[in-house]
A and B are shown apart, each in its own frame.
Chain A
Amino acid sequence: MNALGSTEHKKKIDVVVALLLFFMLFLLALFVFLVKVDSDAKRYSSYDYAVSELKLADKSFDNFLLQQTTFVNYDLINRELSKFEVNMNFLNSKDVAGLFSPDYLLLLKNIAKAYKVKHKAIEYHKSKNALLLNSIHYLFDLNMAMSESDIVDKATLEVIDQTLLMVMKFYINPYIKIEPILDNILKLKLKLKKNSSLELEMFIEHIFLNVDRIREFSKLKKKQEKIVLIDAIDSLHIYLKNKYKEDILIERVIVTALFFIALVILVVLLIVYKRSLKMRDELLGFSAAVENSYNSIVITDIDSNITYVNDLAIKETGYTKEELIGQNPRVLKSDVKSDAFYKKMHEDLSMGRKWEGEFRNKRKDGSLFYEKASIMPIFQDGELTNYLAIKLNITDYIEEKQKVEHMVYHDALTSLPNRTNIENYLEHHLTVAKRDNSKIAILFIDLDRFKTINDTLGHDVGDELLVECAKRIRSALRESDMLARVGGDEFVVVLEALNDEYSAAQVCEKIIELFQKSIQTKAHRLNITLSIGISIFPDDAKDYTALFKYADVAMYEAKESGRNNFKYYKRQLSVDAHNRLDMEQALKKAVTHNELYLVYQPKYNILEKSVVGLEALVRWESEKIGFIPPDEFISVAEDTGDILEIGAYIFRQACEDFLIFQKSCLELQSISINISAVQLYQDSFVDDVKSVIKEVGIKPQSIMLEITESHVMKNVTHSMQILKSLKEVGFKISIDDFGTGHSSLSYLKLFPINELKIDKSFVDDLPDDQDDVAIARAIIALSQNMGYVNVAEGIETKEQEQFLEDNGCEIGQGYYFSKPQTKNDLINFFKKLEDES
């Protein structure tokens, strides 16, 4: 089945491959996007981390800025600062900033700006913190030192303590009034004026400084509050978060879309797969059905190359699968069916039509078998793609049918056609014969005294005898002749295309002759004779029933006249046939028994009345049947082939005699010898005559070969060849009986002719019959124009001679001048002529 539907299959595969490719493509895209999402997430998380670091650093900045009198290791705050800067640099680097819009840079710039201010504040804070810390520290040192010694009096010390406390308060809340502190300072300064003390001096100095610094601090703090570094960082943070959400949203949408597209493709693939599974199952089912079919199934492509054969087809043909695939189915073709049969089939198929018929195909081993086939073109999408042949081996059926047919139409014993068969046969063939105007002879053959043999020796012997008889009869017949067994000991022969009625007699003779020999059966030697009756179509009857009846009648007549013999239905025919057979018998011995002899009729110059030539004529004086005129026996001799022997005798005898005649008649120019068409068409004819004239010693120029016009015209091309080669030897050619043979003048012109002889029938009624006159004149004129010598035959009267003389005919021949004479008479005739002249 793979031969079928292959293109559809291919298309489906292409779709599947395309879908798979798409699927893989989308998977790849999905993967790439997932990787991108992941790296984006990482990227954003690193930004987030950096921003968080900024925030943390800012927190520690704030923390630091809150610490006024606490000792701080500035390394720590420096570390925070550089951490902040490192993160800022990271966020500001090309790798990061390049990915964002100018808004981002603006936000970064805001941060940098705020940071710059804050950084500055931190630096001041560091200095101030160090100083303040130190100062306060020292103040307490001093306070302690002063309270422990008696550098100052108690009252002063109290003022100092109070001042210190106020400074502390001021320190904690820089918004309180500082006037009390300044008052105290004034008091202390007064004390100092009274009682100079380095410690007190220092104390006052430091208090001043402290107040100043605390003021500065609160100023700075106010400034710091305006610094919105954290806001700037937050803005950036929000910006990044939004940006991230945006990016992730887009990517999520893309990833989801890719995922769903991939899912859809997968579903489509699944559906296609399901379908192909179903189709495969169906195909498997079909395939199994085809494989195990009781029909041979052959599929070819459009160029008739076999693409599939099922098991039975392999078994039936005897070829292997490999031998058949790719072959043209014509390897199976036998030559039994005609080319036209196959032509019709190809025509039908190429027109896209279904074809049904029977093949007689050939197996690999050469044996033949019958197949009933139906071949149909297969179309796919309107295009012819394959041919499917479903064939059934019907050899058994056909053979059985033939056997039955044979039994119906044949005799079981001899296998010869039976009566029904021959009746059918005749029915058809009589119509043909009627149309062709040809004759058919029906021979009714009956075995003489067969009943006696059958009764005395038994049916087995009778059957054996019948089979042998059938064989013998058959052997006497031509292939085309029909033999049938129509009754117990009755046979019918149908002879078609008869030359004449007598051919049937010849066949009968032959059959009867064959039965002269006794027949050897298993146990007996039997002598059996036949009686044959003949009826002729269409002479005796025109339908086969009558023909059978008449043949039967003739057969009984033969039996009555003594058996072992044949009879025509027409009595005269029987007689004639027997006469003719007698003549044939006699003719066979005519030459050897010297029963033939020649006579010569002079050809004379009509004007001068002088002999110019002789025509040799044959005569037959049979010992058995007496004198037979030449026009009777020549045609029989031509039929039997005896003419060859006779012709050879005539030619040689005439040549020899002519040499003798020449001595007594000096004017004698030529001897005319009649040549039969049978002789002329003999392959060896030219060589034969050449050797004869050589032997006899006569010049070929002296010999005029007379050939009947109708014979020459039978086969123009062959005749022309022979005549040309005869002419080359030196013979002269005369066309005899001119005017009776339907000559075509265009051919005549081409023949190497010396002489034309006007047929006697045209001369007979001269000069009274106007038609004959016209013909004679025309022939004479033709001869003169073509340069032939003109001879008129059968001149019997003075008037005829006179007419011919008047019309310019040169040479004559006939009883009026001289009848044919024997050799001796002719020599005397010459002498007499000589004497007369």
Chain B
Amino acid sequence: MKYLIIFFLMINFVYAEPITPLPQSVEVDDSKVALGKKLFFDTIVSVDNTVSCATCHDLENGGDDGLDVSFGIEGKQGNINSPTVYNSVYNFRQFWNGRAKDLSEQAKGPIENPVEMGNNFENLIKTLKRTSYKSEFNKVYSDGVTKENIVDAIAEYEKTLITPSSPFDRYLRGDISAITQEQKEGYELFKSKGCIACHHGVNIGGNLYNKFGVMQNANSQSLGRYEVTKNEMDKYYFKVPTLRNIQKTAPYLHDGRFKHLDEVVKFMARYQLGRVVNQEEIDKIVVFLNSLSGEIPQSAKR
């Protein structure tokens, strides 16, 4: 009986590596990227010229802002922790609640969000047309400055924001010495404790929704996906976030409730997996998670 069960489990986990390394590069339109990059760093997109995309997505520091929740124009406070922009192209949906299908749809959100950039596209287009952007857009897009072209350019730029060649990726590609023994053990724990069930794939997460607080109520203010679908079943469902560069994107969880990774790991084991893990195991997993930090891409530099 036991052997049957062991066999049962074997076929579940053994076959292939559940995590795939990031590709070294993505295919993009360079002229769009250049335009998108300029927009990404330009505060002109906000209504009062104070906030840019880079304000909340600091590319030098993990692609987020290091705050529990983000601040927009006039110091307005948001209600959610800013997720990293790095590798976001590999997320199956954007935003914590998955309300944006892809990057360009995502880019529309903050611009018109009154507590983020507080702008509207009508105004933004007018503003851009008064500047050199007009001719730059005309060069790249036949129809010049439009809502779709603005977000398309930004999305195109964001595609380039990937962090390949993390130690773990190098390990996956065959460099067995890229990570430490401890990290390897951490990875085994990561798999055997069941983290891998949600955090896997190229982005180590970001490819499904799941409930926040599976075993017991996790005390979340945000209702997650329910806010989008108003479906009872979707209460407290959030997009499973990526664990890439997790070391650099504190604070953690959608409400930024933890500042340290071991806390999160412990919290996750209890609330999500319903497991008991000891400190040694937690430490190993954290060490493993540290191996997921990749190289900041060239395009991220100003």
Q: Which residues of A contact B (CB under 8 A)?
A: 69-71, 73-75, 78, 81, 123-124, 126-127, 129-131, 133-135, 137-138, 140-141, 144, 161, 165, 168, 198-199, 202, 205-206, 209
* Least distance between B113 CB and chain A CB atoms (Å): 25
* Least distance between B195 CB and chain A CB atoms (Å): 9
With a cutoff of 8 Å between Cβ atoms, the chain B residues found around residue A168 in the complex are 5
A133 touches B197 (CB 8 A): yes
> Which residue, A126, A127, A135, has most C-beta atoms of chain B within 10 A?
A127
Given the contacts A127-B237, A130-B208, A202-B276, A70 and B215 also touching, CB distance less than 8 Å: no
With a cutoff of 8 Å between Cβ atoms, the chain A residues found around residue B275 in the complex are 138, 202
- Assuming A137-B194, A209-B214, what are 19 further A-B pairs, CB within 8 angstroms? A69-B8, A73-B16, A74-B200, A75-B20, A75-B200, A123-B209, A126-B208, A127-B209, A130-B197, A130-B210, A131-B211, A133-B12, A135-B274, A137-B9, A138-B194, A138-B275, A141-B192, A165-B1, A202-B276
> Which residue, B202, B208, B275, B276, has most C-beta atoms of chain A within 10 A?
B208
A71 to B197, CA, bound (A): 7
B208 touches A71 (CB 8 A): no
With a cutoff of 8 Å between Cβ atoms, the chain B residues found around residue A144 in the complex are 2
B208 touches A209 (CB 8 A): no
* Least distance between B198 CB and chain A CB atoms (Å): 5
B54 adjacent to chain A (CB < 8 Å): no
Q: Which of B102-135 contact A (CB under 8 A)?
A: none
B208 touches A127 (CB 8 A): yes
Interface of A is mostly: helix
Q: What are 10 A-B pairs at a CB distance below 8 A?
A: A74-B208, A124-B233, A126-B209, A131-B197, A137-B197, A140-B9, A161-B1, A202-B276, A206-B274, A209-B274
Q: Which of B177-208 contact A (CB under 8 A)?
A: 192, 194, 196-198, 200-203, 207-208
Residue from B13, B20, B192, B211 within 8 A of A71 (CB atoms): B13
Beta-carbon nearest neighbor of B214 in chain A: A131
Beta-carbon nearest neighbor of A216 in chain B: B233
Q: Which of B1-33 contact A (CB under 8 A)?
A: 1-2, 5, 8-9, 11-13, 16, 18, 20
A202 touches B274 (CB 8 A): yes
Residue from B1, B13, B201, B210 within 8 A of A127 (CB atoms): B210
With a cutoff of 8 Å between Cβ atoms, the chain A residues found around residue B2 in the complex are 144
Beta-carbon nearest neighbor of A130 in chain B: B197
A161 to B4, CA, bound (A): 13
Q: Which of B90-110 contact A (CB under 8 A)?
A: 92
* Least distance between A65 CB and chain B CB atoms (Å): 14
Beta-carbon nearest neighbor of B6 in chain A: A140
With a cutoff of 8 Å between Cβ atoms, the chain B residues found around residue A206 in the complex are 274
Beta-carbon nearest neighbor of B202 in chain A: A75
With a cutoff of 8 Å between Cβ atoms, the chain A residues found around residue B197 in the complex are 71, 129-131, 133-134, 137
With a cutoff of 8 Å between Cβ atoms, the chain B residues found around residue A161 in the complex are 1
A479 to B296, CA, bound (A): 141
A73 touches B18 (CB 8 A): yes
* Least distance between A462 CB and chain B CB atoms (Å): 129
Residue from A73, A140, A198 within 8 A of B5 (CB atoms): A140
Q: Which of B198-244 contact A (CB under 8 A)?
A: 198, 200-203, 207-211, 214-215, 233, 237
A78 to B276, CA, bound (A): 31
B34 adjacent to chain A (CB < 8 Å): no
Range for the number of chain B residues in contact with chain A: 20 to 34
A202 to B275, CA, bound (A): 7
A73 touches B209 (CB 8 A): no
* Least distance between A367 CB and chain B CB atoms (Å): 91
* Least distance between A566 CB and chain B CB atoms (Å): 133
B198 touches A73 (CB 8 A): no
B300 adjacent to chain A (CB < 8 Å): no
With a cutoff of 8 Å between Cβ atoms, the chain A residues found around residue B16 in the complex are 73
Report the 4 A-B pairs with minimum CB-CB distance, sorted nearest first.
Answer: A75-B201, A134-B194, A126-B208, A74-B207
With a cutoff of 8 Å between Cβ atoms, the chain B residues found around residue A129 in the complex are 197
* Least distance between B263 CB and chain A CB atoms (Å): 20
* Least distance between B21 CB and chain A CB atoms (Å): 12
A130 touches B92 (CB 8 A): no
Given the contacts A71-B12, A78-B92, A130 and B276 also touching, CB distance less than 8 Å: no
B67 adjacent to chain A (CB < 8 Å): no
With a cutoff of 8 Å between Cβ atoms, the chain A residues found around residue B237 in the complex are 127
* Least distance between A74 CB and chain B CB atoms (Å): 4
> Which residue, B197, B198, B203, B273, has most C-beta atoms of chain A within 10 A?
B197
With a cutoff of 8 Å between Cβ atoms, the chain B residues found around residue A75 in the complex are 20, 200-203, 207
Binary contact track B260-284/A, C-beta < 8 Å → 1, others 0 = 0000000000000111100000000
With a cutoff of 8 Å between Cβ atoms, the chain B residues found around residue A134 in the complex are 194, 197, 273
Given the contacts A133-B194, A202-B274, A127 and B211 also touching, CB distance less than 8 Å: yes
* Least distance between A488 CB and chain B CB atoms (Å): 129
A165 to B8, CA, bound (A): 13
B207 touches A205 (CB 8 A): no
With a cutoff of 8 Å between Cβ atoms, the chain B residues found around residue A133 in the complex are 12, 194, 197
B201 touches A205 (CB 8 A): no
Q: Which of B35-52 contact A (CB under 8 A)?
A: none
Beta-carbon nearest neighbor of A71 in chain B: B12
With a cutoff of 8 Å between Cβ atoms, the chain B residues found around residue A127 in the complex are 208-211, 237
With a cutoff of 8 Å between Cβ atoms, the chain B residues found around residue A126 in the complex are 207-210
* Least distance between B279 CB and chain A CB atoms (Å): 16
Given the contacts A127-B237, A199-B276, A73 and B12 also touching, CB distance less than 8 Å: no
With a cutoff of 8 Å between Cβ atoms, the chain B residues found around residue A202 in the complex are 274-276
A131 to B211, CA, bound (A): 9
A209 to B275, CA, bound (A): 13
Residue from A70, A73, A138 within 8 A of B274 (CB atoms): A138
Beta-carbon nearest neighbor of B2 in chain A: A144
A202 to B92, CA, bound (A): 32
Given the contacts A199-B276, A209-B274, A123 and B12 also touching, CB distance less than 8 Å: no
A73 touches B208 (CB 8 A): no
A127 to B202, CA, bound (A): 18
With a cutoff of 8 Å between Cβ atoms, the chain B residues found around residue A69 in the complex are 8, 12
With a cutoff of 8 Å between Cβ atoms, the chain A residues found around residue B5 in the complex are 140, 168
* Least distance between B93 CB and chain A CB atoms (Å): 9
> Which residue, A69, A73, A199, has most C-beta atoms of chain B within 10 A?
A73
Beta-carbon nearest neighbor of B273 in chain A: A134
A130 touches B273 (CB 8 A): no
B214 touches A74 (CB 8 A): no
A205 touches B1 (CB 8 A): no
B18 touches A130 (CB 8 A): no
A557 to B81, CA, bound (A): 177
Beta-carbon nearest neighbor of B20 in chain A: A75
* Least distance between A362 CB and chain B CB atoms (Å): 87
B12 touches A137 (CB 8 A): yes
With a cutoff of 8 Å between Cβ atoms, the chain B residues found around residue A198 in the complex are 276
Given the contacts A78-B92, A130-B210, A138-B275, A70 and B11 also touching, CB distance less than 8 Å: yes
Beta-carbon nearest neighbor of A133 in chain B: B197
Residue from B11, B18, B210 within 8 A of A131 (CB atoms): B210
With a cutoff of 8 Å between Cβ atoms, the chain A residues found around residue B198 in the complex are 130
A133 to B200, CA, bound (A): 14
A198 to B276, CA, bound (A): 8
Beta-carbon nearest neighbor of A123 in chain B: B209
Given the contacts A124-B233, A140-B9, A165-B1, A73 and B200 also touching, CB distance less than 8 Å: yes
A126 to B237, CA, bound (A): 12
B209 touches A70 (CB 8 A): no
* Least distance between B208 CB and chain A CB atoms (Å): 4
A78 touches B207 (CB 8 A): yes
A206 to B194, CA, bound (A): 14
* Least distance between B202 CB and chain A CB atoms (Å): 6
* Least distance between B98 CB and chain A CB atoms (Å): 9
B274 touches A71 (CB 8 A): no
A131 to B275, CA, bound (A): 12
A69 to B274, CA, bound (A): 17
With a cutoff of 8 Å between Cβ atoms, the chain A residues found around residue B18 in the complex are 71, 73
Beta-carbon nearest neighbor of A205 in chain B: B274
A140 to B203, CA, bound (A): 28
Beta-carbon nearest neighbor of B231 in chain A: A120
